[in-house]
Amino acid sequence: MSQETTIDARNTFCPGPLMELITYMKQANVGDTLELLSTDAGTASDVPEWARKVGHEMLSSENRDGVWHLRIRKAK
């Protein structure tokens, strides 16, 4: 069964949203979806760039009330 996990990386500067995502991605199984919450403006471009390079699937990216919600599926 694939799982959906939310990572609350709002208001953090270190280790920061992408580093948090990488940590959780390592713990996830192929097929799992991770939803990353971030208030860091750079996240909206950093995360898709990383996902594309590594080969994970970006499912969605939207800003709701100043919080980025990015959903990524672990593909490998």
Residues noted as catalytic: 14
- Asked whether position 9 contacts another protein by CB under 8 A, the answer is yes
Q: From the CB of 15, what's the least distance to another protein, in Å?
A: 5
| Residues in binding contact with another protein, number by CB under 8 A | 21
Of 1, 29, 53, 66, the one binding another protein (CB under 8 A) is 53
50-54 contacts at long range (C-beta below 8 A, 24 or more positions apart): 50/18, 50/21, 50/22
Identify which of 42, 48, 8 has the alpha carbon closest to the alpha carbon of residue 24. 8
CA atoms within 13 A on the CB side of 34: 27
| Binding footprint of another protein on the chain (CB under 8 A) | 8-9, 11-16, 18-20, 22-23, 26-27, 42, 46, 49-50, 53-54
